[in-house]
Amino acid sequence: MSRSASIKDVANHAQVAVGTVSNVLNYPDRVSQRTKDRVLQAIDELGFVRNDAARQLRAGHSRTIGLIVLDVGNPFFTSVVRAAEDAAALQGSAVLLGDSGHDAGRESNYIDLFQEQRVQGLLISPVGDVTDRLDVLRERGVPTVLVDRLADEAQYSSVSVDDDAGGYLAARHLLDLGRRRLAFVGGPTSIRQVADRLQGAQRAVAEVPDASLEVLDSAGQTVLAGRSVGDQLVRRSPDQLPDGVFCANDLLALGVMQSLAMMHKLRIPEDIALIGYDDIDFAVSAVVPLSSIRQPTEALGRTAIELLAEELDTPDSAQPRHRAVIFTPELVVRQSTAGV
């Protein structure tokens, strides 16, 4: 239960000055081999571990980056988080992770915490309106990068995915298969992601003369919501049926698939080609493996860290440059839209 060893203990034990121990740790080149060996041995014998609090007190800032996501349970964010952690580790920083759970209160608490911790910078996928708080942080030299949200480039850097392009990709793919009577299944269009994906799909359909796109509003973004849409489809007469269905996310698509599979009147992809969005793990192992749109989550996480690093490298004097990086998602073709 002994208090852990400090740099001073190491110095005594190795018969050198504290400054020398510090140099061994931070600027090994400045120290002769002999002393370095002695110091390293002392460190080993005492089991010395740097006290990060003291270090960052002196430095004025920590070596950590705050990251606040909407929901760690969501595979999209899980993947972003992991990529961000790895990218941060490469540049010698650690990531403090906060899960706001779509709750503005929790979000605000994490901002407080991270501010007390004097994080170098902040990555955030915001819930509430946090611009005021972020402005304060910026004034204090703590840059922010918005994640999965397009930002005013004059104010912040940001990384996001082009949902319109994703919607276009999905619809275009169905059209390329020769399908013409398309349907879009998606929750309330008040959700930006849903609206953008729909818009992209409409753009693709507009390019093909005899193609049409019907919008089927779903109650939510869940498997069950998808199943109830699917149940409605199954009841239609054959000439009223779409031949290609694009769902705003994979859960909806799996629901639709379940519904069709249970009735086993309509075949996927022969009668209806089906595509989802997000490429969740379950997409591969669905009864009929589900085509989907994959978002470059690793690139998102990595780039967010890089943009932050750019701002941190900007000398205090210079005006920081912000950048908004927009990624294009990727089409993943599986059996649910296989050519027939």
Residues that bind its own copies (CB under 8 A): 1-4, 47, 49-54, 56-57, 60, 62, 72-73, 75, 78-79, 81-82, 85, 89, 94, 96-97, 99, 101, 109, 112-113, 115-118, 136, 139-141, 222-224, 227, 254-255, 258, 261-262, 264, 282, 284-287, 316
Closest listed residue to residue 293, CA positions, set 156, 228, 196: 196
25 binds, among its own copies, DNA, none (CB under 5 to 8 A by kind): DNA
By the rule CB under 7 A, 51 interacts with DNA: yes
Nearer to its own copies, 8 or 192 (CB): 8
Cβ(232)–Cβ(200) below 8 Å: no
Q: How far apart are CA 247 and CA 249, in angstroms?
A: 5
Rg (C-alpha) for the chain, rounded Å, is: 26
CB of 259 to its own copies, least distance (A): 9
Return the structure tokens found at 335.
């059996």
> Residue 306, SS3?
helix
| Number of shown-chain residues binding DNA (CB under 7 A) | 30
Residue 269: is the preceding peptide bond cis (ω within 30°)? yes
Cβ(201)–Cβ(182) below 8 Å: yes
Nearer to DNA, 33 or 190 (CB): 33
CB of 201 to DNA, least distance (A): 53
Residues in 9-38 that interact with DNA by CB under 7 A: 15-23, 25-26, 29-32, 34-35
**Binding residue for DNA, selected from 47, 60, 92, 238, defined by CB under 7 A:** 60
Q: How far apart are CA 314 and CA 262, in angstroms?
A: 59
Work out the angle between the directed axes of helices 163-176 and 192-206 (0-180°, nearest 10): 40
Q: How far apart are CA 271 and CA 233, in angstroms?
A: 12
CB of 236 to its own copies, least distance (A): 21
Nearer to DNA, 141 or 289 (CB): 141
Binding site for DNA (CB under 7 A): 3, 6-8, 15-23, 25-26, 29-32, 34-35, 48, 50-51, 54-55, 57-60
